[in-house]
Amino acid sequence: MANGGAVTFDAHGEGSEVNFAVSYKKGVEALQYERVLEAAFKGHHGWYWKKRGKQPVKIELTTVGEYASIKRVL
- Confidence at residue 21, expressed as pLDDT on a 0 to 100 scale: 80
- Is residue 69 in a domain? no
Q: What strand order describes the sheet that includes 21-30?
A: 21-30, 7-15, 43-51
- pLDDT-based confidence at residue 14 (cuts at 50, 70, 90): confident
- Is residue 74 in a domain? no
Total tally of structural domains belonging to the chain: 1
pLDDT tens-place string over residues 15-71: 876 667 888 888 887 777 777 778 878 888 888 888 888 888 888 878 888 877 777
Structural domain range at position 20: 2-59
pTM for this model (two decimals): 0.64
- Is residue 8 in a domain? yes
Whole-angstrom distance, CA of residue 68 vs CA of residue 42:
11
The Cα-based distances of 46 to 10, 22, 53, 55 in angstroms read: 8, 11, 23, 24
> Given a cut of 80, is residue 8 above it in pLDDT?
yes
- Is residue 31 in a domain? yes
> Given a cut of 60, is residue 73 above it in pLDDT?
yes
